[in-house]
Structure 1
Amino acid sequence: MYERFGKRLGDVLLSAALLLLLSPLLLGVALAVRLSLGRPVLFRQERAGRDGRPFTLLKFRSMRDGPGEDAERLTPFGRRLRASALDELPQLVNVLRGEMSLVGPRPLPMAYLPRYTPRQRLRLRVRPGLAGAAQAAGRNALPWPERLELDARYAGRVTALADLRAALGTLRILLSGRGVSAPGHATMPRLDSPATHRAAGRSTEF
């Protein structure tokens, strides 16, 4: 009952309430991004939603436009924005629209779909989320195999208690300031092949 009806109802009510209550903060962050990085204020990228369906994820920008690695384009303002997780707040709109949930696996780029093992593809049976089991366990500092396994376990059995634990754990990680980036990367290394999951190429904006 919770997974089929209660979870979505809670997402709608809570995301609408949070958008209303946090509207001054959202406007303040938008203004800060505009003054620090210029236009556009929002970062948009196609990500894989439930069952692998694409949707446009919304975030506040934290990087300058132009060439260069992510670490070079990430400004001190952007680093602070990411550490606070305030850049994720526009995703409340994604939640309200039904593209995301407040709790679930983090939405990843569409290009990663062919790289999942059958076990890891279980993460796609639920809506991606703002908070999640992998976020609560270490955020971006968690290696890919562990992160995807936690997502698969969560998707295998969605309960109100699991959502509460994931939400509180994610909040604890955010308040501690841990897990903002993987060691040696601006954010998180790109997902490599399922056989190795080694870090490859540039980081990606998570």
Structure 2
Amino acid sequence: MKFPMYKRAMDILLSTMALVFFLPIMVVISLMIIFTMGNPVFYCQSRPGLKNKVFNVYKFRTMSDSFDNEGKPLPDENRVTKLGLMLRRTSLDELPQLINILKGDMSIVGPRPLLMEYSPYLTRWERRRHEVKPGLTGLAQVHGRQDISWEDKFKLDVEYVDNYSIALDAKIIFLTIRMVMKREGILYAAPQGRLDDYRRALDYDNR
């Protein structure tokens, strides 16, 4: 599926406007992270994008480098700082992904990029989510964000692939702003836990 020119033009326009608007806030957040957690300011991680092409997604760092007595990282809920929790609740930790959008790795609207280790656990039908660029927000996010099941999330992702348009993108952007203002659907993880652990437990057939 081709990536429509109108969608790329909208991505460049909106991400540029958003970066100019949020730049002072991003500078303040960066300084707060340095003062409370030290460097690095950004959290970078490889994610599958359009046609499974791997790219580095950017986020503001929200967790400290805390380890247990055996040297293993503590659970996420124990590592998220007060500042990090505030950034997550307001979705400000996602602002650096505007850079991903300008670079062309992501779009304003599309399925959220998954962890690389989840790829083997997607069915052929679910992999259709990679027929479009991953997004800063998406149809699944405005229908529950992290408090819906993996199956429902993937169903909504594929529904977006089959139906995306200017009107649908505008609607998703509006609903996203409303959800962020209400701070809805903010959890540490999906209710079923990590996708790989969840589907291994189900002995999921990946053929």
TM-score, normalised to structure 1, is: 0.88
Task: Give the root-mean-square deviation of aligned CA atoms.
Answer: 1.9
How do residues 2-81 of structure 1 correspond to structure 2 at under 5 angstroms? 4-66=4-66, 67-81=73-87
Pair member with larger Rg: 2
CA contact (8 A) 1:144 1:197 kept: no
How do residues 102-113 of structure 1 correspond to structure 2 at under 5 angstroms? 102-113=108-119
SS of aligned partner of 1:47: strand
Structure 2 residue aligned with 1:137: 143
SS of aligned partner of 1:77: helix
Structure 2 residue aligned with 1:150: 156
SS of aligned partner of 2:145: helix
Structure 1 unaligned spans of 5+: 199-206
SS of aligned partner of 2:45: strand
Aligned pairs, number: 193
My pick for the range that moved more, 72-81 or 123-132, is: 72-81
Structure 2 unaligned spans of 5+: 67-72
Confirm whether residue 180 of structure 1 aligns to residue 180 of structure 2. Answer: no
Compute the displacement of 1:193 (Å).
2.1
Give the AA of the match of 1:8: R
SS of aligned partner of 1:22: helix
Structure 1 residue aligned with 2:194: 190
Structure 2 residue aligned with 1:166: 172
Identity score, percent: 37
- Assess, with a 3 A threshold, how the Cα gap between structure 1 residues 43 and 197 changes in structure 2: closer, same or farther: farther
The CA distance in 1 between the partners of 2:41 and 2:152, in whole Å, is 33
SS of aligned partner of 2:144: helix
The CA distance in 2 between the partners of 1:62 and 1:75, in whole Å, is 6
Compute the displacement of 1:175 (Å).
1.1
Compute the displacement of 1:195 (Å).
8.5
